[in-house]
């Protein structure tokens, strides 16, 4: 069965694209243990959300060269659009300090911000280093704020998925449209 951190890992692989990567480097970038990363990739392969890429007569053995694992963009797109909000739903919690996400984070903050009342607090990933105060929203993986601080593109994909997971119908529609544009851009770079 898929776990939320599997989507977290896949979104990072979307951003990585064709660049070579290793399990060790990816684990550090995601602030996840190597064993959790291996398990997440294994589940993603099993679910058909990732595939082993074979290059002209070369077959990479998983674990020796992680870069041979790539996202199956169409399957991931379908899951994010139609399944993520049911499988990994998120409901706002208590007021806390954290890092903004969903409609309050880029890229949706510029698109949706004008529609929100200033009295309505933003959604935030609980994070002691966060600069915003808002309603707590559990990220797909607890280390998301740490990893997102170092990769703006990854942060934006996570925020879009959070808007799908937690948003109202109109927010979800806007987030899905923006997510599809980005996923298609990444997929076309292959």
| The predicted structure's pLDDT at residue 55 | 62
pLDDT bracket for residue 101 (50, 70, 90): very high
Q: What is the CATH number of domain 4-87?
A: 1.10.10.10
Q: What's the alpha-carbon Rg for the chain, to the nearest Å?
A: 16
Enter the pTM of the model. Answer: 0.91
- Average pLDDT of 76-89? 97
**What tokens appear for 128 in the block?**
């002691």
State the span(s) of the chain assigned CATH 1.10.10.10. Answer: 4-87
| The predicted structure's pLDDT at residue 67 | 60
Q: List, as one string, the DSSP characters of 58-100.
A: B-PPTTT-GGGEEE-HHHHHHHHHHTHHHHS-----SEEEEEE
Nearest one of 153, 182, 188 to 80, comparing CA atoms: 182
Q: How many CA atoms lie within 13 A of 41 on its CB side?
A: 25
| The predicted structure's pLDDT at residue 113 | 62
């Amino acid at each position: 069965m898929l776990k939320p951190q599997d989507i977290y890992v896949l979104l990072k692989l979307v951003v990585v694209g064709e660049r070579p990567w290793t399990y060790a480097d990816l684990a550090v970038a995601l602030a996840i243990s190597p064993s959790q990363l291996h398990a997440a990739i294994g589940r993603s392969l099993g679910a058909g959300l990732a595939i082993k890429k074979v290059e002209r007569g070369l077959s990479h053995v998983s674990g020796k060269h992680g870069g041979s694992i790539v996202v199956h963009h169409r399957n991931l797109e379908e899951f994010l659009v139609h399944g993520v909000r049911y499988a990994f739903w998120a409901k706002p919690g208590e007021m806390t300090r954290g890092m903004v996400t969903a409609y309050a984070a880029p890229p949706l903050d510029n698109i949706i911000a004008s529609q929100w009342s200033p009295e309505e607090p933003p959604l935030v990933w609980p994070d002691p280093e966060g600069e915003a105060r808002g309603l707590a929203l559990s990220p797909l993986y607890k280390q998301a704020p740490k990893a997102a601080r170092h990769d703006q593109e990854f942060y934006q994909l996570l925020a879009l998925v959070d808007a799908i997971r937690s948003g109202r119908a109109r927010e979800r529609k806007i987030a899905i449209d923006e997510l599809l544009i980005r996923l298609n851009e990444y997929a076309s770079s292959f």
